Every structure is written in structure tokens, then in C-alpha cells.
């Protein structure tokens, strides 16, 4: 059997670390799958790192990577991928909302030769109406951009080493893992799973962070909003052409009324279209600026890995 690495991004998950570790250990042992767990502490402000350290000392299959601050889930996933040594690497949330039993099914599919095994949500679990609608809108745009159906996509995936290398080779700092893993191609299959309820702790997403997340990822994956700017510009142009002709006819017909209302409307319309367009373009420029700075995606402050008989620390470690 080949080694499976499980990457677990963790942000303020002190209540979940131990339970997740125990559950995964029990299930994977029973299935006789050799595994390692890579916990990435994404700058938690609680005792997540201490918990990871404790279990890592007890269990040589546990590796801990600690960020110097909160860099976000995508960065934590990338760091986990970079530090994983398995021939297959799975990514899952460490709140056990992704059922570990599905992991076994994914591993079996990988053994059958699939290189990317995607976890697809059966339904989206308990979410508010507003959340559902916003997520729906976001995924429609993303699905168009990535040319795959992303409506029920999740970060629960199992990737072959080759696929992991391909993702790590992508130079952009603002990587959207869900879309990137389908963009790379490879022999892909999806597995349905039921989203479990979070057992402890709370969701890390506020409405503001979700909107930000959506904008960042749309911009990092598609230029469609820029085309929207062009289209709006064209529409405005045609509209003003019609109005222009109309007012000229009025003028020569001798009915040159003080078209104050029309003027105001047109002015407002064009003004707002321009401002909106500038905003969208500005957003892209900001993202380009971020990318050209070439800052690292994350900064690791500590790594903990219990050495086995012969230490393999540092060996095989992929750099990003």
C-alpha cells in the first residue's frame, strides 16, 4: 500500500484537532492505509498549535506546520501540499465536516488509476437563504470561467503526486485551490459526500470575508468582469447615440426644450458606468500589483515532525 498524506488546514480549531486526529487514525488504520497527517496552523489565536505539537510528539505520523500569521485557507492548503510526502495527498477540513469514510473511497479510486478525485457535496448542508443565493451566483461565474460545474465543489479532494506538483508549479500567489485542481486536468473522477454538521467551534467565515473571497477568486480566475465593462461602455454609447440623434431632430424641428431631465439622467448614467468600470479595472490592477510584488504565499515559523528511526527531515520537501 502506498502512503496517503492528509492535509488539514486549521484556524482556531483547538477543540477539533485531537478529535480529528483520533477519528482519522481509527478509520485509516482499520482500512490498512499507511498515512501521515499534515496539520497547517493558519495563525490561530487559540491553542491550536499547542494541540498539534502535543499529538505530533505522540504520533510520528503527524506533521505540524505553523504559519507566522493568518494567511487564509488557500495558503494553508498550498503549504500542506508542499510539506506532504505521500504518493497521494488528500485535503480536508479539520472540523470533520468532510466525512473521513469518504477518504477511503477516494483512496481506492486513486489506486484504480484516477489522478484527481474530487469531493462533491450532495447538498450544501445548512445554510441561510442569503448565503445560498450568493454562493450560487459566485459558482455560476466560476463554473463559466473554469469550464467545469463548480456548484457543489468543495476543497475535499485527493490528488496524485503529479497533480500536486502541477498545482505547486502554478506561480500565481492568489491560487484558488478548487478551480486550480480542475484546471490542471488529469484523469478525474468525483465522489459525492454529505456535508456533516460542525461538531465544535464555529465557522470562520463572516459575510464580509465570503464576499471578499468571492471577489478575489473571480478576479484571480477570470477576466469576465472586464468584458462586462466593455459591454456596458458599448451599451452606453448606443444609448447616447440614440439620444443625440433625438435631440438634434428636436433642435432642428425648433422644439429645443430645456432637456434638463434627460441631461441629468444621461450624465448620471454615464458617470456611474464609468465609475463602476474604473472600480473593476482598479481591482484587477490591485491584484496585478499584488502578484508582481512576488511575496511568498505564506511564511512558516515552525515545523514539527517526530523523527522516525532514520530521520528524513527535510528530504523530499517540496519548496514553493
Give the binding site for Mg ion (CB under 5 A).
93, 95, 97
Residue 74 interacts with, from ligand UDP, Mg ion, none (CB under 5-8 Å by kind): none
Asked if 94 interacts with ligand UDP (CB under 6 A), we say yes
- C-beta of 13 vs 115, nearer to ligand UDP: 13
Asked if 105 interacts with ligand UDP (CB under 6 A), we say no
Site track for ligand UDP across 296-315, x = CB under 6 A:
--------------------
Asked if 95 interacts with ligand UDP (CB under 6 A), we say yes
CB 70 to ligand UDP: min, Å: 5
Are the C-beta atoms of 90 and 20 separated by less than 8 Å? no
Residue partners of 9: CB distance under 8 A and separation at least 6:
40, 42, 73, 76, 77, 80, 91, 93, 94
Euclidean distance between the first and the last CA atom of the chain, given in angstroms as a whole number = 28
Asked if 100 interacts with ligand UDP (CB under 6 A), we say no
Chain positions 257 to 286 lying near ligand UDP, rule: CB under 6 A, are none
Asked if 205 interacts with ligand UDP (CB under 6 A), we say yes
Nearest to 37 by CA among 16, 11, 67, 17: 17
Q: What burial class does residue 58 get, using C-beta atoms within 10 Å of its C-beta: 0-12 exposed, 13-18 middle, 19+ buried?
A: exposed
Q: Which position among 64, 72, 119, 225 is part of the footprint of ligand UDP (CB under 6 A)?
A: 72
Asked if 246 interacts with ligand UDP (CB under 6 A), we say no
Asked if 13 interacts with ligand UDP (CB under 6 A), we say yes
Nearest to 38 by CA among 95, 77, 87, 96: 77
Angle (deg, nearest 10), helices 260-292 and 207-221: 80
The residues pairing with 8 across neighbouring beta strands, listed in sequence order, are 39
Give me the count of residues in the chain: 320
Residue range at the interface with ligand UDP (CB under 6 A); choices 105-113, 198-206, 242-250, 288-296: 198-206
Interface ranges with ligand UDP (CB under 6 A): 9-11, 13, 42, 70, 72-73, 76, 93-95, 97, 203-205
Amino acid at each position: 500500500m502506498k502512503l496517503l498524506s492528509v492535509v488539514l488546514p486549521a484556524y482556531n480549531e483547538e477543540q477539533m484537532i485531537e478529535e480529528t486526529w483520533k477519528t482519522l487514525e481509527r478509520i485509516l488504520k482499520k482500512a490498512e492505509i499507511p498515512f501521515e497527517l499534515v496539520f497547517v496552523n493558519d495563525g490561530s489565536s487559540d491553542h491550536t498549535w499547542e494541540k498539534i505539537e502535543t499529538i505530533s510528539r505522540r504520533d510520528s505520523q503527524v506533521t505540524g506546520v505553523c504559519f507566522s500569521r493568518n494567511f487564509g485557507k488557500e495558503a494553508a492548503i498550498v503549504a500542506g501540499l508542499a510539506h506532504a510526502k505521500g504518493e497521494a495527498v488528500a485535503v480536508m477540513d479539520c472540523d470533520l465536516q468532510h466525512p473521513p469514510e469518504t477518504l477511503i473511497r477516494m483512496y481506492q479510486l486513486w489506486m484504480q488509476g484516477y489522478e484527481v478525485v474530487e469531493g462533491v457535496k450532495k447538498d450544501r448542508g445548512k445554510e441561510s437563504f442569503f448565503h445560498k443565493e450568493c454562493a450560487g451566483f459566485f459558482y455560476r461565474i466560476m463554473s463559466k470561467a473554469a469550464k467545469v460545474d463548480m456548484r457543489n465543489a468543495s476543497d475535499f479532494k485527493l490528488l496524485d503526486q503529479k497533480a500536486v506538483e502541477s498545482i505547486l508549479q502554478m506561480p500565481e500567489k492568489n491560487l484558488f485551490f478548487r478551480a486550480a485542481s480542475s484546471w490542471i486536468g488529469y484523469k478525474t473522477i468525483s465522489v459525492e459526500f454529505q456535508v456533516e454538521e460542525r461538531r465544535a467551534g464555529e465557522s470562520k467565515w463572516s459575510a464580509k470575508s465570503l464576499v471578499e473571497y468571492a471577489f478575489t477568486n473571480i478576479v484571480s480566475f477570470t477576466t469576465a468582469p472586464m468584458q462586462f465593462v466593455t459591454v456596458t461602455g458599448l451599451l452606453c454609447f448606443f444609448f447616447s447615440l440614440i439620444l443625440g440623434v433625438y435631440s438634434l431632430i428636436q433642435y432642428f424641428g425648433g422644439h429645443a426644450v430645456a432637456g434638463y431631465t434627460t441631461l441629468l439622467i444621461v450624465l448620471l448614467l454615464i458617470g456611474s458606468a464609468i465609475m463602476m468600470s474604473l472600480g473593476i479595472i482598479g481591482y484587477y490592477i490591485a491584484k496585478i500589483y499584488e502578484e508582481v510584488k512576488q511575496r511568498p504565499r505564506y511564511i512558516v515559523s515552525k515545523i514539527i515532525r517526530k523523527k522516525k528511526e532514520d530521520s528524513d527531515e527535510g528530504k523530499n520537501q517540496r519548496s514553493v
